[in-house]
Structure 1
Amino acid sequence: MEKNLNYEEAYEELARIAAEIETEAVSVDVLAERVKRASVLIAFCQAKLRSTETEVNKIIKQMENQPL
């Protein structure tokens, strides 16, 4: 995966791939390539979401432990 790829870019690329496949704009010759790229993007997005959830939960716990 590219080092500078962010969630928004990955999601947009994934949406483009899905649209190509849905509208049959992708040829059979490159279909497997697009599906493979989509699976990589999905894994990236899932990892990013899990990481963000963990970080947010950590911040919430810290806030809850601070005295008012």
Structure 2
Amino acid sequence: MEENLTYEAAYQELAEIAQEIETESVSVDVLAQKVKRASDLISFCQGKLRSTEEEVTKIIKQMDNQS
């Protein structure tokens, strides 16, 4: 994955790939590449969501400890 890829950009690219596959505008020759890229993007997004959830949980715990 690219280092500067954001969640929003990954999600947008994933939506575009899904649209291409749904409308069958992807040739059979590149279909496997698109599916692989989609898989990578899904993993990236899931990782981002997990790390964000962990950060938020940590911040909330810190706030609770300060009260």
* TM-score, reference length from structure 1: 0.96
**Cα deviations across residues 14-67 of structure 1 (Å, max 9, x unaligned)?**
000000000101011110000000000000000000000000000011111112
Matches of 2:25 and 2:62, distance apart in 1: 49
* TM-score, reference length from structure 2: 0.97
Q: Calculate percent identity across the aligned residue pairs.
A: 76
Unpaired runs of 5+ in structure 1? none
Unpaired runs of 5+ in structure 2? none
Runs of 4+ in 1 over 6 A off after TM superposition: none
Q: Once superposed, what is the RMSD of the aligned Cα atoms?
A: 0.5
